[in-house]
Amino acid sequence: MTNSMIENIRRSLGRTTQASLPARPAIYEPRQAEAAELEIEAFLNEIKKLSGVGKKLSPSEIDDTLKALAQEQNIHKATVWETPHLKQLGITEILNSLGVDLVSPNASKHEMALCDLGITEADFLLPETGTLVLHSSAEKPRAVSLLPRIHLAIVHPDMLRADMHQVFVEAKDHHYLVFITGPSRTADIELTVTLGVHGPKSLYVWMVDA
């Protein structure tokens, strides 16, 4: 008994029931990481191609750079992951000194969406595509990277991974991952791309090597 739907699909593909399947596509070898400086450069270049802003900073430059960002982007309200590294960098203290209203990273979605800035780290970085990979947990709520109009990720070179296969191997015990490749993008029926309709309009990534 033949299935008319399947037959229609075969005809549209120019195949017959006797046609053999095409050869399996080649399986590419896993990507090999290059020297750390080249990986950092590749990652930050991809961020820029994706309409993001990526730069290398030392810990001593965080204070002035965050103040400049708050002034340039008119930051009045922010939310920050409460992780040891961000605490060590004094992120909330800097924002407090600027008079920025801090919202708990575990606040309601409505409160989070009213934030101008959400600051996170990342768990993995993929240089080839400029992708940030974030675990979701009580300490690191995913809404911080998804709801404010600006997302700032403060990362370091130890987070770089050669490819997605390596990320999945290391993250196998985590039930939820967020993959971020550039600011939020949406295209209408005429394929006009607009940033920030369904997520942050701007993405900043600061690579802090300490």
Give the pLDDT score at 69: 97
* Cα–Cα distance, 147 to 69 (Å, whole number): 18
User: Per the domain annotation, does 27 fall within a domain?
Assistant: no
Mean pLDDT, rounded, for 4-21: 75
What pLDDT, in 10s, does the model give residues 44-99? 999 999 999 999 999 999 999 999 999 999 999 999 999 999 999 999 999 999 99
Across-strand partners of 56? 207
Contact in structure between 151 and 203 (CB atoms under 8 Å): yes
pLDDT at residue 17 tops 70: no
Give the pLDDT score at 197: 64
User: Per the domain annotation, does 56 fall within a domain?
Assistant: yes
User: Per the domain annotation, does 132 fall within a domain?
Assistant: yes
Of the candidates 169, 116, 163, the residue with the CA atom closest to the CA atom of residue 144: 116
**How many domains, in total, are found in the chain?**
1
pLDDT at residue 19 tops 80: no
Cα 109 to Cα 22, 125, 148, 193: the distances in Å are 49, 26, 10, 25
Give the pLDDT score at 27: 83
User: Per the domain annotation, does 179 fall within a domain?
Assistant: yes
Number of H helices, E strands in the chain: 8, 11
The CATH number given to whatever domain includes residue 137 is 3.40.50.10420
What pLDDT, in 10s, does the model give residues 157-192? 999 999 998 999 999 888 788 999 988 767 666 667
Contact in structure between 183 and 200 (CB atoms under 8 Å): yes
How does the average pLDDT of the chain come out, rounded? 89
pLDDT at residue 1 tops 60: no
In 10 A of CB 114, how many CB atoms? 17
Of the candidates 194, 172, 176, the residue with the CA atom closest to the CA atom of residue 185: 194
pTM higher than 0.85, yes or no?
no
User: Per the domain annotation, does 109 fall within a domain?
Assistant: yes
Q: Classify burial at 30, counting beta carbons within 10 Å of its beta carbon; exposed 0-12, middle 13-18, buried 19 or more.
A: exposed
Give the pLDDT score at 76: 97
Of the candidates 204, 163, 179, the residue with the CA atom closest to the CA atom of residue 57: 204
Helix (H) or strand (E) holding 89: none
Helix (H) or strand (E) holding 187: strand 185-187
User: Per the domain annotation, does 89 fall within a domain?
Assistant: yes
Of the candidates 196, 156, 144, 181, the residue with the CA atom closest to the CA atom of residue 40: 156
Give the pLDDT score at 210: 63
User: Per the domain annotation, does 204 fall within a domain?
Assistant: yes
Q: What percent of the chain has pLDDT over 70?
A: 90
Give the pLDDT score at 109: 92
User: Per the domain annotation, does 143 fall within a domain?
Assistant: yes
Contact in structure between 118 and 112 (CB atoms under 8 Å): yes
Domain coverage including residue 113: 42-208
